[in-house]
């Protein structure tokens, strides 16, 4: 039977429409149709699977099944978290949490890098938690940085403006390089410095100082000790008093007992009567 070949240009292409105007449709050849997105898309969209941009996966936000609450329209952003609430109070915006568990983040421009049980009260601003558990920023906290251990049994309150707050159960170790303190160094409670402490330059000790905690401990002055306002002698407690040494080089000690000045030299005590010493 006869066979008639149909040329492509004889095919009538159907007409395509985009009522919303979001799609730009054009015929590029006799058998081809080109479709392009002509403008931004608006509305709510739900994607299943991976969403890629230039072959790279778009970073996803935490989901609501982990009991997270944050308002991205106020500039609050939660990357990964569980049971974390951000921006629930008034005057709250610009907060960021990279990883947060049981967090309550209010205030302005507060940041959590990794934290659990972190609370920023309304009014706090420009604060950062680098790591830690159970840290609370008071409403007056501004410009503070907090670093804490992961123990929930102890807590930290940050309420000093422009402060660095560090708290670790096993202490803070500075393992390399020198440590420079540009201003005052304050030791609260009973501070203990172990090892050798060398003070270069002039040192001023105010208040009451105790040298040598135990009876077998002593303070050694390698150079002349000068006392501008005098010094007090201890009360003599008998010949059994442990003072000085009898071995070479012998060292001595002074004590006072009533009207006698006692001197310990070479392993035994001697006394000087000071009853008739005249006044200067």
241 vs 77, residue with greater confidence: 77
* Percent of the chain clearing pLDDT 90 (strictly above): 29
- pLDDT tens for each residue of 17-76: 777 667 777 777 766 778 877 766 677 777 777 778 888 777 766 766 677 887 667 788
Task: Kindly report which listed range (12-21, 131-140, 171-180, 182-191) carries the lowest average pLDDT score.
Answer: 12-21
What pLDDT sits at residue 75? 81
Pairing of strands 268-273, 260-265: antiparallel
Average pLDDT over residues 134-149: 97
* Residue 26 near residue 16, CB atoms below 8 Å: no
What pLDDT sits at residue 157? 97
**Average pLDDT value over all residues in the chain:** 80
What residues form DSSP beta bridges with 263?
254, 270
- 81-99: b (≥16 Cβ within 10 Å) or e: beebbbbeeeebebbbbeb
What pLDDT sits at residue 159? 96
Distances (CA, A) of 242 to 16, 245, 258, 265, 270: 110, 9, 19, 12, 14
The Cα 78–Cα 68 span in angstroms is 9
What pLDDT sits at residue 5? 66
Average pLDDT over residues 248-277: 75
What residues form DSSP beta bridges with 81?
100
Locus of tokens 């907060």:
95
Q: Provide the pLDDT confidence category of residue 116 given band limits of 50, 70 and 90.
A: very high
Q: Domain limits of the chain?
A: 8-37, 64-167, 232-280
In DSSP notation, 79-113 reads SSEES-EES-SSS-BS-EESSEES-EE-SBS-EES
> What SS3 class is residue 74?
helix
Q: Provide the pLDDT confidence category of residue 150 given band limits of 50, 70 and 90.
A: very high
What residues form DSSP beta bridges with 260?
257, 273
pLDDT at 182 over 80: yes
pLDDT at 81 over 90: no
What pLDDT sits at residue 197? 77
* Residue 96 near residue 107, CB atoms below 8 Å: no
130 vs 4, residue with greater confidence: 130
Q: Provide the pLDDT confidence category of residue 11 given band limits of 50, 70 and 90.
A: low
What pLDDT sits at residue 270? 80
**Residue 108 gets which letter from DSSP?**
B
pTM attached to this predicted model: 0.62
């Amino acid at each position: 039977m006869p066979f008639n070949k149909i040329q492509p240009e004889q095919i009538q292409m159907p007409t395509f429409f985009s009522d919303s105007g979001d799609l730009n449709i054009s015929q590029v050849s006799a058998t081809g149709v080109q479709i392009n997105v002509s403008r931004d898309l608006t509305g709510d969209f739900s994607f299943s699977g991976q969403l890629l941009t230039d072959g790279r996966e778009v970073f996803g936000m935490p989901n609501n099944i982990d009991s997270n609450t944050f308002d991205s329209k106020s500039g609050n952003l939660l990357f990964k978290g569980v049971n974390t609430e951000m921006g629930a109070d008034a005057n709250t915006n610009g907060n960021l949490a990279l990883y947060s568990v049981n967090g309550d983040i209010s205030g302005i421009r507060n940041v959590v890098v990794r934290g659990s049980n972190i609370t920023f009260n309304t009014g706090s601003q420009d604060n950062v938690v680098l790591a830690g558990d159970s840290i609370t920023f008071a409403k007056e906290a501004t410009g503070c940085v907090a670093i804490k251990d992961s123990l929930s049994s102890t807590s930290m309150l940050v309420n000093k403006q422009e402060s660095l707050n560090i708290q670790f159960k096993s202490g803070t170790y500075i393992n390399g390089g020198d440590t420079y303190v540009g201003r005052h160094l304050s030791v609260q409670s009973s501070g203990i410095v172990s090892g050798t402490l060398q003070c270069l330059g002039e040192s001023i000790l105010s208040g009451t100082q105790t040298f040598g905690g135990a009876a077998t401990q002593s303070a050694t002055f390698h150079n002349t000790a000068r006392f501008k306002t005098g010094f007090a002698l201890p009360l003599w407690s008998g010949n059994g008093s442990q003072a000085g040494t009898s071995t070479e080089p012998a060292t001595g000690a002074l004590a006072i007992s009533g009207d006698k000045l006692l001197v310990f030299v070479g392993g035994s005590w001697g006394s000087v009567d000071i009853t008739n010493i005249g006044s200067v």
